[in-house]
Amino acid sequence: MTKNYSFLAAALLLALPALAKETTVSTAAQLAATVTPAANSQAFDALEGQSLTALRHALQNGEPTLKRDGLENAKQSSTQADTAWLKASGYDFQTKARQQAGIGLLSAFSSLSADTLAASLETVTDINRDASAATRQQALADAEGISYLYFLSDALGPRLGKAFINAYDKGELNKAAALIKASEVSTGAAKKHFNYARPFLVQGNTIHLVPDDTVVKDNQPYTADGGSFPSGHTNTGVTDALLMAQMIPERYDALVTRGARYGYSRIVLGVHYPLDVMGSRMVAQSNVAHDLNDPKYRALFNEARDQLRAALAKECGTTLVECAKTDGKDDPYHDPAMHAFYRFTLSYDLPQQKGESAALTVPQGAEVLLESALPNASAQQRRALMVQTALPAGYPLSGITPDQQFWQRLDLPAAYAAGQHLR
């Protein structure tokens, strides 16, 4: 299966502008299933099992059994995350300002056509209905693991992924764990502003709420409350994945893709539309770029990154470059086919408006998102790569402002792949 999808992706990648359309909902579902416990790799399956076991143990929090009422207040332990270090820094994350900036960035949602909204509901219905058992199990683990970083281990490969889980639970990554989770900007204000009902609440919907046979294992259907647009879980997954990709550029494209896959899980569960996921990706990208361009944040980031890399190298017993290497069959997130999956998640094959569009403008400082991955590329080169590999114009949420256009169309894995000759 992996080889077949590698061949498919290679063919599609020859024509990036058309890729979003050529990867259908059903093909994307098959690709998404390759990064679940049903993957064609014993080593990857073992990593998935270790991640889930560690998550369930953390959620249990010393209690004899894991119960649903314990999930609500779940958070990283004082061992896992050094919140005291972060608090002592006095850093101001400017949460309210970033929330308002996010609402502005997503303002095009309010003018979407009825046809686009209907297509978004149809897509979540199809993905939710047809998801495999393993894909649903992955979605449940992603959902309940929102307060932790275990999900990122999937994209690190079996060896580095195992080292990550071990070091994380021993508190050896505690500065990175604290900073990454604190960098997530809540979508609560945006949800209240847009006030859009979740798909399983739409009259006449055929969404199937997924029973939990994976985390708490009580078979209670997974649900969610509050507004649907944008997705809070996706904001978390994309933010965490982008920041980890800056810290471990050896796994850059795999980690960025893991953020998109995390958002896909929300659609599998039927609690979010594609538009919710797309919008949160836009906001998270903008927020991470904003933070990384702030010298005070960057000082904290560098300290956390250096601690994390030293701890992982120690746990691996070798360099991160060596520890990050894998056998292709054991590393589905590095399969070229996942580039096609990522491209699909930029639009979820929703209707594209044809017509003329202005040249794509890269916001000042956005190129920082490729800095660690392409260290030998100049800022100008990284900006050019972002433009060259961007999604075509006209997909939902691309709006009318330069920032809306850019953050909706940005394809980081494609830009990274196109810049390999500059490394």
Structural domain range at position 17: 2-422
Q: What is d(CA 153, CA 413) in angstroms, rounded to the nearest whole number?
A: 18
Tokens of 304: 């956390």
The residues that bridge with 211 in the sheet, in sequence order, are 221
pLDDT of residue 359: 84
290 residue type, one letter? H
Beta carbons of 270 and 228 less than 8 angstroms apart: no
The pLDDT profile of the chain, 423 residues, written as one tens digit per residue, is: 343 434 334 434 444 444 445 789 999 999 999 999 766 789 999 999 999 999 999 999 999 999 998 888 899 999 999 999 999 999 999 999 999 999 999 999 999 999 999 999 999 999 999 999 999 999 999 999 999 999 999 999 999 999 999 999 999 999 999 999 999 999 999 999 999 999 999 999 999 999 999 999 999 999 999 999 999 999 999 999 999 999 999 999 999 999 999 999 999 999 999 999 999 999 999 999 999 999 999 999 999 999 999 999 999 999 999 999 987 789 999 999 999 999 999 999 999 988 667 789 999 999 999 999 999 999 999 999 999 999 999 999 999 899 999 999 999 999 999 999 886
- Nearest residue to 266 (alpha-carbon basis) of 223, 226, 220, 227: 223
Are residues 352 and 17 in contact, defined by beta-carbon separation less than 8 angstroms? no
CATH number where 205 lies: 1.20.144.10
Alpha-carbon Rg for the chain, nearest whole angstrom, is 20
Number of domains in the chain: 1
Omega before residue 199 within 30° of 0, cis? no
Quickly tell me which residue has 């250096």 as its tokens: 306
Angle, nearest 10°, between helix axes 274-292 and 95-105?
130
Residue 11: its pLDDT value, please?
39
- List the structure tokens of 378: 């100049």
- ∠ at Cα 339 (338, 342), nearest 5°? 85
